[in-house]
Chain A
């Protein structure tokens, strides 16, 4: 079908369609024009360029930023190792099943990686273009090189020692965090680094807690059920802002200040419990979506209640709620901006503060800085969303 024929049948089928198309086209065109003009012509991005470091790592001391670089390169290497080992195992399983996977040429693999991570890669490129020095380019190149090296090494590691690779992402953060917090103490972390810390730790911690609360709420033990319902309903009923504020000030009324952990830990606990309450209800919905017959079949086979939950019901329940769970995680990722109200210098408060710097004050630059902050969050959220769809597709194969 030619473009004209396609347009005629889809956009100008009759008079009303034609009018709608023209009006909508004008509106969209106007918005796109204004946006492009803002980004390219009228936007004064100097404020972002100047404060790029502040946006990304907050007030992390200049002399210690090599630590962040080391962690970034190391993280790339470990991610590569894991990906390589996963690929090796998948290949091994496919061969054992007698269905060898086709070999993919190197250029196609690069294309696949770009297609999978294009939002993050585009953002990375933008950040590099905004950077004033060469060191970010070196860091990006080193991280990518480390990831590729890890991927190659991971794929060549025999299965026997491969389990150690899977243990790395769990163990390394414990070693890395003190290394990172050393120069500043993490209560003074800021920028994207703080956001990533808050979001990732809360996500990892709230998931098992949420699952336990969901199982507790369905338990036949009245005490356990009551506690679970209590926790879920109490924390769902309180605005997150209130919890964040309370984590900062109100806990001091109940407990001696000296016994309390640091501010970051307290706010992470607040995010974790709040999100866990929502996760619990999502997971409970998933548990209810698994037909009774599944439990009965497992019971008839003589499986114990713990195994029925762990092997039969939970895997199916979680698969059914991936979209809702990831939605909750994205929500958490964005809600971490609330920490600005208790004095953290997160991305949002950087965006606000830099417009008050002497050389930028009074120029109405908040639009530029907010758009940039929004972009950072959008890329993170969209990447999460895309990965979740990928997992859904993988788990959905041949199961219905």
Chain B
């Protein structure tokens, strides 16, 4: 570390949002065989905070958020989501997954179900919500992502942007406290990126706690409370968007930004 000004939180433990801690990641390591994907990650995310994670490919960004809902198992350290610590206990894992929505780069909608069924599946089978109620909730969410008229189609009949908005609605249907976005716009044609980003901005305005892995620097500047820069499985630098894009302190960050901007 060279110099620390007041907007840099090198240990990433000072949170924005309401100040209350929603996600706590402490000393997390992740190994794939002998490749170290994550190295001593420390990060706290506050309630209603939006954290954008950027970095070159292979830097561990996706692995980090996939560890939060146990799609990957971390090898060392602690992950606590809303007071529940992630362990091998299936009940803890399920409790965290119920509170955590995830949106994937490749949408991962269920192709054999209609849009409506995609959204109502988890509320009905996990939350045991009656069908009528789940359908009403799904329609409300589809209104929110502005595609209610697609409810009875299958995902394959939708454009990429529409599919990703359905995926967001599907995650929201579980009424999660945290939303994880894993490069949600990377697989989209350029003209469809904004329709998805608009939905995400709206979500941020409504006070959703979000961790977003993305290459959309415009989104990071506009919406993020903090930006986390990762490289080689480590957090290199954390700061406000303003700090980040105007006067980054680390050499590695500067190099990355000069490559993409």
Contacts and interface: CB of A to CB of B under 8 A. Distances in A.
Contact of B170 (A99, A301, A397, A399): A301
A49 interface: no
Contact of A299 (B71, B111, B154, B167): B71
Interface in A319-354: 319
A65 interface: no
Interface string A64-103: 0000000000000000000000000000000001010000
A301 B171 contact: yes
Given A300-B69, A300-B171, A301-B174, A294 B153 contact: no
A19 B40 CA distance: 77
Contact of B154 (A293, A294, A399): A399
Given A296-B104, A398-B157, A302 B111 contact: no
Judged by DSSP, the binding face of A is helix
B101 A300 contact: yes
A168 interface: no
B126 interface: yes
B97 A300 contact: yes
B79 interface: no
Contacts of B155: 399
B126 A312 contact: no
Interface residues of B, number: 30
Interface string B87-124: 00000001001101110101011111000000001100
Contact of B126 (A302, A398, A399): A302
B156 interface: yes
A293 B108 contact: yes
A311 B152 contact: no
A316 B122 contact: no
Contacts of A316: 110-112
Interface in B151-193: 152-157, 167, 170-171, 174
B180 to A, nearest CB: 8
19 contacts: A97-B152, A99-B152, A294-B108, A296-B71, A296-B104, A297-B104, A297-B167, A298-B110, A299-B69, A301-B170, A302-B97, A302-B174, A303-B121, A303-B122, A312-B110, A319-B112, A395-B112, A397-B154, A399-B154
Given A293-B108, A399-B154, 4 more contacts: A293-B106, A300-B97, A301-B174, A397-B154
Interface of A: 97, 99, 291, 293-294, 296-304, 307, 311-312, 315-316, 319, 395, 397-400
> What are the 4 A-B residue pairs with the smallest beta carbon separation, nearest first?
A297-B108, A301-B122, A300-B102, A293-B108
